[in-house]
Structure 1
Amino acid sequence: MTLSVIFSTYNSEEWLEKVILGFSVQTFRDFEIIIADDGSRAATKELIDRLRAEISIPIIHVWQEDKGFQKSQILNKAILAATSDYLIFTDGDCIPRKDFVEVHHNYREEGYFLSGGYFKLPMSISKAITKEDILQQNCFNLNWLRSQGLKSSFKNVKFIASGFLSKVLNSVTPTNASWNGHNSSGWKKDLMEVNGFNQEMQYGGQDRELGERLFNKGLKSKQIRYSAICVHLDHKRGYVNEETWKKNKGIRETTKKEKVIWTTHGIKKSN
Structure 2
Amino acid sequence: MSSVSVIISTYNQPRWLTKALWGFEGQTFTNFDIVIADDGSTEETATVIQQFQQKNVLKIAHIWQEDDGFQKTKILNKAIKATEAEYLIFTDGDCIPRFDLVEKHLAMRKPNSFLSGGYFKLPEDISENISEEDIRTRKCFDAHWLVAQGLKKSFKLNKLTATGTKEQFLNWITPTKATWDGNNASGWREDIVAVNGFDERMQYGGEDRELGERLMNKGVRPIQARYSLVTMHLEHPQGYVTEEMLANNKQIRKTTKTTKSTWTPYGLQQTDA
TM above 0.5: yes
Structure 1 residue 82, shift from structure 2 partner: 1.1
| Map of 2:134 onto structure 1 | 133
Structure 2 residue matching 1:228: 3-state secondary structure: strand
- Whole-Å Cα distance in 2 between the matches of residues 138 and 253 of structure 1? 42
The residue that corresponds to 1:102 in the other structure is 103
Indicate how the Cα distance of structure 1 residues 31 and 244 shifts in structure 2: closer, same or farther if over 3 A, else same. Answer: same
Partner of 1:187: 188
The alpha carbon displacement at 1:52 in A equals: 1.2
Aligned equivalents of 1:265 and 1:114: distance in 2?
24
Question: For residue 71 of structure 2, what is the aligned residue in structure 1?
Answer: 70
Where does residue 249 of structure 1 map in the other structure? 250
User: 2:212, 2:156 → 1: CA distance?
Assistant: 24
Matching residue of 1:18:
19
Give yes or no for the alignment of 1:199 onto 2:218.
no
Confirm whether residue 227 of structure 1 aligns to residue 238 of structure 2: no
TM-score w.r.t. structure 1 length? Answer: 0.98
CA–CA distance in structure 2, aligned partners of residues 152 and 83 of structure 1: 42
Write the distance in 2 (CA, Å) between the matches of 1:160 and 1:218: 33
Task: Provide the secondary structure at the position in 2 that maps to 1:170.
Answer: helix
Q: Secondary structure at the match of 2:19?
A: helix
For residue 222 of structure 1, report the CA deviation from its aligned partner.
Answer: 0.7
- Deviation sequence 1:59-84 (CA, Å, 0-9, x none): 01000011111000000000011121
State the distance in 1 between where 2:163 and 2:55 align.
31
Aligned counterparts of 2:166 and 2:46: Cα–Cα separation in 1: 41
Cα RMSD, aligned residues only: 1.0
User: Is structure 2 residue 55 aligned with structure 1 residue 54?
Assistant: yes
Q: How far apart, CA to CA, are the structure 1 residues paired with 2:34 and 2:135?
A: 17
1:178-227 CA distance string (max 9 Å, x none): 11101100000111111100000000001110000001111111111101
Q: Whole-Å Cα distance in 1 between the matches of residues 69 and 214 of structure 2? A: 25
Distance 1:105 1:200 in 2: 31
SS at match of 2:226: coil
Question: Are the counterparts in 2 of residues 24 and 55 from structure 1 also a CA contact under 8 Å?
Answer: no
Q: Any unmatched runs of 5+ in structure 2? A: none
2:212 paired residue number: 211
Q: State yes or no: 1:174 paired with 2:175.
A: yes
Match of 2:118 in 1: 117
Q: How far off its partner does 1:120 sit?
A: 0.5
Letter in 2 for 1:163: G
Shift of 1:55: 4.6
1:23 aligned partner, one-letter code:
F
Amino acid at match of 1:42: E
SS at match of 2:210: helix
Following the alignment from structure 1 to structure 2, what is the Cα–Cα distance between the partners of residues 55 and 139?
24
**Aligned partner of 1:120: which letter?**
K
Deviations 1:25-82 (A, max 9, x none): 1001110011000011111111101111225120010000111110000000000111
1:118/1:230 contact within 8 Å kept: yes
Matches within 5 A, 1:122-161: 122-161=123-162
Residues in 2 aligned to 1:43 and 1:180: alpha-carbon distance in whole angstroms: 27
**Structure 1 unaligned residues grouped into runs of 5+:** none
SS at match of 1:234: coil
* Cα distance in 2 between the residues matched to 1:23 and 1:233: 15
Q: How many angstroms apart in 2 are the aligned matches of 1:239 and 1:41?
A: 16
Q: Which structure 1 residue ranges, 4+ long, deviate > 2 Å from structure 2? A: none
How far apart, in 1, do the equivalents of 2:56 and 2:103 lie? 18
Amino acid at match of 1:130: S
